Chain A
Amino acid sequence: MNIVVCMKQVPDTELERKLVPGSNTVDRASADGVINYIDEFAIEEGLKIAEAHGGEVTILSMGPARAAESIRKALSMGADKAVHVLDDGLAGSDALATSAVLAAALGQVGFDLVIFGSESTDARTGLVPAMVAERLGVPQLTLASKVDIAGSSVTVRRVSDDGYAVVTGSLPAVVSVVEKINEPRYPTFKGIMAAKKKPVRVLALTDLGVDAGSVGLAGAASWVEEFAARPPRQAGVIVTDEGDGGAKAAGFLAGRKFI
């Protein structure tokens, strides 16, 4: 089975993130890049499926040159090869453009199963997997907390606010996974050494036949007009419990008409 895992490099969330004045895009240069946290679960799921059913795992990532570090890390976890979509024209792409680029790359690379994370920690839109499924015209089996493959059929547990639905479709398909679906493995020393020799194919927009005017800041369909630091919350009242902490808290709630 030809499994492609879509991985995004994001700024490390331990650090406060900033926007770049002028373009109002995420300042990706000032923070360390890491694999989008949920994408580690996507990679692990891809590796597990390949181990159980045979096949190869390809990492697909669209991002700047430094995304190469995260791609290498994904390879050291055990993926076989990678495709890095790298083009200056891509900076500032929104979800609509990102999904178009990923769909074009998937068309070129070929796939039986595409696995996404459910959401990226920087964009947090959760849009890309559904958009890619729409573009590719294949079953959308997203928000999975469990993935089962039997022959050419894929069944997932799709989590919802009030439980889950069991959803089935046939390969080729798009899956997105949620946090905690599995336990992502750590790269081993052997894995890290092996990753150095694994092939990473770099594709530019022209290789994909995607029009540069339709992506990046130039093609943005959604636009940040302005941004401002959220006004800091007014300093609150902090009391120390001296046997009356619960009563004081109740007094606060009563004062605000919550009780």
Chain B
Amino acid sequence: MAEVLVLAERTAGGEVKKVTLELLTAARRLGSPSVVWTGPGAEAAAGRLGEYGAEKVYAADSADFGDYPVAPAAELLAQLVGQVSPAAVLVAGTTEGKEIAGRLAVKTGSGVLTDAVDVTAGPDGKPVAEQPNFGGSVTVRSTVRAGTPVIAVRPNAITAEPSPATAAVEAVAFTASDAAKAAKVTDRVVAEKGARPELTEAQVVVSGGRGTGSADGFKVIEELADCLGAAVGASRAVTDAGWYPHQFQVGQTGKTVSPQLYVAVGISGAIQHRAGMQTSKTIMAINKDPEAPIFEIADYGVVGDLFTVVPQLIDEITKHKG
């Protein structure tokens, strides 16, 4: 069975990110999963990767991956594609993952599919990616016709399922070329995000809109999020007004999220906002306007003033937790 390369992502703490386990789950449908690990820590991660079906871990322990964004990772993947002729390469569909996919596709003359929410083997065994289009109103199924399929998979879209294997770690000799070192990282600033889960990886997202009225009013969104263990999101009206930072914007020009539960509070549900949250499994909306378009896609909606409904909801959840 041909190998399927999976580019691993890890947290700042060095742990395997959930999206990597999701990619491994998809990779098993296409062939034998081999993880590509950039930087230190492959040995420590191998156990966890094996739990989700990784047969191999290609470990390239080089500082170049941290010092130079995107280009070295693409170069390493291209090197491995040349060596093992994989059936496909899967990367996380984050902004950085997509850029790596793009450079790899150019290097290998391959077709690239982004924003996949599912990947399966087609009748000929080749990968078929399912992609939501136009903000989720259309679903397309796409294939790659040239080279080695490169697929960027949206985090949180595929459910990670364990399938134990023994992941053999294989060290890979890698030195980034001078061309791949043309853009150098000179500093990193990590934003304070506290204990909340990352927006694109969270099981539950609570987002607030203009209805919250002010930065102060927006705090009720954070409170609800914290009692649900959720990430906080915002509409553009909120980030434009400066009530909450731009990096939390959900929508067409913000983040795309597919959590198990999305709670939209004081958000009207404009098409550009829906583009970023339409594929959420369950949607709940709280809005005082019964005509708000968000109710058209809500599984559960409460028509009412958020400043009375949300505090009561928080109380009830707290009671429920007992």
In the complex, which residue of chain B has the Cβ closest to the Cβ of A118?
A: B95
Partner of A180, one of B142, B246, B286: B246
Is B215's beta carbon under 8 Å from chain A? no
Q: Is the CB of A222 within 8 A of B94?
A: no
Q: Decide yes or no whether B76 CB sits under 8 A from chain A.
A: no
Could you mark each residue 247-259 of chain A with 1 if its beta carbon is under 8 Å from any beta carbon of chain B, else 0? Answer: 1111111101011
**Interface residue stretch chosen among B49-57, B168-176, B191-199:** B191-199
Max chain A Cβ within 10 angstroms of own Cβ: one of B139, B302, B303: B302
Report the separation of the CA atoms of residues A226 and B94 in the bound assembly, to the nearest whole angstrom.
25
Pairwise interchain contact B303-A238, C-beta atoms closer than 8 A: yes
| Distance, CA A241 to CA B102, complexed state (A) | 49
A165–B187 CB distance below 8 A: yes
**Quick check: is A182 within 8 A (CB to CB) of the other chain?**
no
Complex: A94 Cα to B261 Cα, angstroms: 33
Would A222 and B112 count as touching, CB distance under 8 A?
yes
A221 interface residue (CB < 8 Å to B): yes
Residue interface mask A171-191, B partner, CB < 8 A = 1: 001000001100000000000
Nearest to B137 among chain A residues (CB) is A230
List B residues 254-277 near A (Cβ within 8 Å): 260-261, 271-272
A167 touches B102 (CB 8 A): no
Q: What 1/0 flags go to B287-299 for Cβ under 8 Å of A?
A: 0001000010111
| A126-B114 contact given A161-B198, A162-B190, A233-B299, CB 8 Å threshold | yes
Q: Are B309 and A246 in contact (CB under 8 A)?
A: yes
**Chain A residues numbered 1-37 whose CB sits less than 8 Å from any CB in chain B:** 13-14, 16-19, 24, 37
The yes or no answer to A38 lying at the interface (CB within 8 A) is: yes
Task: Please report the total number of B residues contacting A with Cβ < 8 Å.
Answer: 94
Q: Contacts A162-B190, A165-B69: A259 and B146 contacting too (C-beta < 8 A)?
A: no
Which chain B residues numbered 174 to 213 have a C-beta less than 8 Å away from chain A? 179, 182-191, 193, 198-200, 204
Given B187, B190, B199, B316, which contacts A166 in the complex, CB threshold below 8 Å?
B187
Whether B143 lies near A141 (C-beta < 8 A) is no
Nearest B residue to A229 via CB reads: B138
Task: Say whether B140 contacts A221, CB under 8 Å.
Answer: no
> Inter-chain contact count A-B, CB under 8 Å?
279
Q: Identify which of A127, A164, A226 contacts B112 (C-beta below 8 A).
A: A127
| CB atoms of A247 and B316 under 8 A apart | yes
In the complex, what residues of A have CB within 8 A of residue B107's CB? 134
Q: How far is the CA of A227 from the CA of B314 in the complex (A)?
A: 41
In the assembled complex, A206 has its CB within 8 A of some CB on chain B: no
Q: Is the CB of B321 within 8 A of A259?
A: yes
Chain B nearest Cβ from A233, distance in angstroms: 5
- The complex places the Cα of A228 from the Cα of B134 at a distance, in Å, of 12
In the bound complex, do residue A249 and residue B313 qualify as a contact, i.e. CB atoms below 8 Å apart?
yes
B residues within 8 Å of A by Cβ?
A: 12, 69-71, 74, 94-96, 98-103, 105-107, 109-115, 128, 132-134, 136-147, 179, 182-191, 193, 198-200, 204, 228, 239, 246-247, 252-253, 260-261, 271-272, 278, 282-284, 286, 290, 295, 297-305, 308-317, 320-321
A contact residues vs B (CB 8 Å cutoff): 13-14, 16-19, 24, 37-38, 94-96, 99, 118-119, 121, 124-131, 133-135, 137-143, 155, 158-170, 173, 179-180, 220-230, 233-234, 236-241, 243-254, 256, 258-259
Given A130-B103, A250-B316, 19 additional A-B pairs, CB 8 A: A95-B112, A96-B105, A99-B106, A126-B102, A139-B183, A141-B183, A142-B70, A162-B190, A163-B188, A166-B188, A229-B137, A236-B283, A238-B290, A245-B303, A246-B311, A246-B314, A249-B313, A253-B228, A258-B260
